[in-house]
Structure 1
Amino acid sequence: MLLLVLAYLGGVLTVLSPCILPVLPFVFARSDRPFLRSGLPLLIGMALMFAVVASLAAVSSQWVAQANQIGRWIALVVMAVFALALLWPALADRLLSPFQRLGARLSASADAASDAGRGGVGTSLLIGIATGLLWAPCAGPILGLILTGAALQGASVGTSGLLLAYALGAATSLALAIWIGGRVFAALKRRLGVGEWVRRGLGIAALLAVVAIAMGWDTGVLTRLSTVSTAKLEQGLLDVLPAQEPPAGGAMMRAAAITPGAPLPVEGTLPSLAGATGWLNSPPLDAQALRGKVVLVDFWTYSCINCLRAMPYVREWAERYRDHGLVVIGVHAPEFAFERNLANVQRAVKDLKVTYPVAIDNDFAIWRGFNNKYWPAHYFIDAQGRIRAHHFGEGNYAQSEQILRQLLREAGNTLPGDDAPVAMALDGVARQADMDNLKSPETYLGHARAENFASPGGQRHDQPADYTVPTTLQHNQWALAGRWTVGNEDARMEAPGGRIAFRFHARDLHLVLAPSEDGRPVRFRVRIDGQPPGAAAGGDVSADGEGRVDENRLYQLIRQSGAVQERTFEIEFLDPGVHAYAFTFG
């Protein structure tokens, strides 16, 4: 219930967002008609269509995304016809005769229906459905939380309900706008006799809105023209309202501290592993066959820096306790599209020297069974198939090993004589983060989750565009230079010579990259404060800053050995086609 309230309030706040501007002309054009027969059906159609499209988009395959894009263009045509009919009903009848029922009825016929007291409900509902296809609200903290949860937890009544609550919140705000607009429109007609001019003005505004949506300005430029930021208001709601209690039952973990040596609680039972789309290093495993074994389930994905830093410990536990009753199962749940490619995962498993069983969880079936939310996440299962503890994220490795030993003892297994925790001498990407100097967050380049983007004009979604780096970058700002296409999860360089700049503060800088789609390597050159990195070069870069992208993976580009301070990183790609996904730091 709390999340439904948050989703609704987040939707209400969208009226303050610039991303609502392109749909306002279509809404105001119905404001002079009876609300129950015109405004309400329009808002219902808009809310329902947005909930359906957003639900599909959050968990979509490629064909769903393409179908949605086709639907948007059809909706744009419908709205353009509607706008022309507002401007010149007679001209629309002559020029658009094939669409007369779709166009004229969306305007003049609807007026006649309303004047005659005959509903016009279907017309308004159709306009609302088209508007719902076109509406792309700014993804503030609340909508971002809902969409991320939908993507990871899968399609469900719950996630669709949250999206519908968000859309209904927006509809509430727009209903107020319709009510106010209707009274203003009626006053202008009654007192000034300019109703026809107002109508044509709305037609012009509707045509401009069609152009804005077609050009991507609704989710690009407009988000930078806002004078009111809803993000702070939404984040305030998330911070002030009490946190949700985990749902009862299942395998949702309680974040309770564990006292060394104390009895471990029972937090659930091992969910089914049958949802795996494949297995590496092992035939398929199931919960029944694992009875009698202590099991460590490790959720990971191979481009995740936190997972890579935890991996050496997991490998060592698997080796140290393999003959003492422990089975380690890695569950590979992809974050980026390229991590769904089995060949990429197989190569990563080989390169990372992972020899224990790995379940390929491309459909997030096992992820949902555990109600998991994190990479990495460790679940500790006893010999009776009960989940007894969990750990999310990096660190606390000694405590995790002691939990394993405790569960192995409970099962009657003998243990290695040395009970000292695993001591690791780590280097490369596996070296533990310098938390005292880590002042830059994980930063995504795709428009779905991008933050702190500083190139003038903002991101242009899903279309090639020319970008420049501003003269000065503030701390944790980043920018593109050259010709790029910014997609949902990555930025793809369209011409040689493109650059990415980032003002960061951390010992290490990593960037998840992929070569061109035909697999050809992409050469790059790294600079830090305008100079070759020298001793600060990461493991994938030479001292003079040269390197190349030849695999879909995380690349370590900077590893500082001296004093850590705020610096400007730049990478220039000498060949076209590179895909850049996310910066991480350590």
Structure 2
Amino acid sequence: MDAVTLLDATLLPAIAIAVFAGLLSFLSPCVLPIVPPYLAYMGGVSVGDMDEERAARKRVFTAALFFVLGLSTVFIFLGMAVSAVGRAFLQYQDWFIYGAGIIVVIFGLHFLGVFRIGFLQKEARLDAGDRGGSSFGAYVLGLAFAFGWTPCIGPILGAILGLAASEADVARGTTLLAAYALGLGIPFLLVAAFFPRLKGAMAWMKRHMVAIERVSGVLLVTVGVLMLTGQFTALSYWLFEKFPALAVLG
């Protein structure tokens, strides 16, 4: 295995974690419950129209697409920024990793209910004004969503930002935040496209919010421990040993 392949291989576990973290952010208590009315507002329709009219769902899907582009814009720029900072302080990279690992473990223990951090219990929603029913308005709302919900999704987002900073490479850090945006954004598009079929699944998720928070906590603690112990590289070796076909991605 050459050095370039190994370098790329170390990013694969982090990408998988980033996508899964985005999905957990979508399932968080301050995101999932507002998805149907939020999508309906962006599309300029009612929730009932989403349930009954195919044309309405097409409008909502277009709005959802621009919404996801908006939030992805913010997350990708965050990835560029934190990885650039990590690169500028490359000589302190180990300290960055240890510090980020400790913070991520603390966030994970918060989700597991070991203790509660007050400011993480709050939401900070930005008012983007009357933007419903237009693609541009949906894009603006995506920008507002990415900024305004950070207190709620912040622990999970912070873990991915910590990974991006530890990469100390702009392209790799940006890739991680793009993967996070993908994990958060695709469920929005699926709900917009298949709302009637997914109502039951969304109701089940709402009933199991506590379990979802616990899964989030386990993920964060695991990521934090991997960062503190330097096991991402070892995990990459294991992936290549078990799945040699992944070498084509290197």
Matched residue, 1:232: 248
Q: Following superposition of structure 1 onto structure 2, how do residues 46-61 of structure 1 map, counting pairs within 5 Å?
A: 46-54=79-87, 56-57=89-90
Alpha-carbon distance, 1:225 to partner:
1.8
Equivalent-residue separation in structure 1 for 2:209 and 2:77 (angstroms): 27
Q: Using the alignment, how far apart are the partners of 1:231 and 1:123 within structure 2?
A: 37
Aligned runs of 1:416-431 on 2, under 5 Å? none
Contact 2:83 2:174 in 1 (8 A): no
Shift of the alpha carbon at 1:40?
5.5
Partner of 2:15: 20
The offset of 1:22, in angstroms, is 4.6
Q: 5+ unaligned residues in a row in structure 1: which ranges?
A: 1-9, 58-64, 94-99, 138-146, 148-162, 235-586
1:19-38 to 2 correspondences below 5 Å: 19-24=14-19, 26-32=21-27, 33=31
What's the secondary structure of 1:17's corresponding residue?
A: helix
**Aligned partners of 1:23 and 1:131 also within 8 Å:** yes
Instruction: Give TM-score, length-normalised by structure 2.
Output: 0.52
Contact residue 38 and residue 124 of structure 1 kept, 8 A: no
Alpha-carbon distance in structure 2 between the residues aligned to 1:196 and 1:224: 32
Aligned letter for 1:220?
A: A
Shift of 1:232: 2.8
Tell me: higher relative CO, structure 1 or 2? Use CA pairs within 8 A at least 6 residues apart: 2
RMSD of aligned C-alpha atoms? Answer: 4.3
Among 92, 96, 100, the residue aligned to 1:71: 96
Taking the aligned partners of 1:211 and 1:126, their CA distance within structure 2 comes to 15
Gaps of 5+ in 2: 36-67, 128-144, 192-197
User: Match for residue 134 of structure 1?
Assistant: 163
Which structure carries more strand by proportion?
1
Tell me how far apart the structure 2 counterparts of residues 70 and 25 of structure 1 sit (CA, whole Å): 26
Is the aligned partner of 1:178 residue 2:173?
no
Taking the TM superposition and a 5 Å limit, the aligned residue runs for 1:356-435 are none
Instruction: Output the TM-score relative to the length of structure 1.
Output: 0.25
Give SS of 1:212's match: helix
Distance 1:113 1:181, change over 3 A: same
1:92 alignment partner, one of 108, 112, 115: 115
The answer to whether residue 238 in structure 2 is matched with residue 205 in structure 1 is no
C-alpha distance in 2, partners of 1:19/1:51?
Answer: 18
Instruction: State the secondary structure of the residue aligned to 2:148.
Output: coil
Q: Do the aligned partners of residues 52 and 124 (structure 1) sit closer, same or farther apart at CA in structure 2, a change above 3 Å counting?
A: farther
SS in 2 for 1:29: helix
1:174-573 mapped onto 2 (5 Å cutoff):
174-181=180-187, 188-191=201-204, 193-226=207-240, 227=243, 231-234=247-250
Q: Is the 8 A contact 2:19 2:182 kept in 1?
A: no
Q: Is the 8 A contact 1:47 1:168 kept in 2?
A: yes
Q: Which amino acid aligns with 2:82?
A: M
- Larger-Rg structure: 1
For residues 201 and 126 of structure 1, the distance between their equivalents in structure 2, rounded to whole angstroms, comes to 13
1:394 alignment partner in structure 2: none
Shift of the alpha carbon at 1:73?
Answer: 2.1
Query: In structure 2, what residue type is equivalent to 1:132?
Result: L
Task: Summarize the Cα distance change of 1:15–1:113 in structure 2 as closer, same or farther, 3 Å threshold.
Answer: farther
- For residues 115 and 199 of structure 1, the distance between their equivalents in structure 2, rounded to whole angstroms, comes to 24
Q: Deviations over 1:257-316 (max 9, x none)?
A: xxxxxxxxxxxxxxxxxxxxxxxxxxxxxxxxxxxxxxxxxxxxxxxxxxxxxxxxxxxx
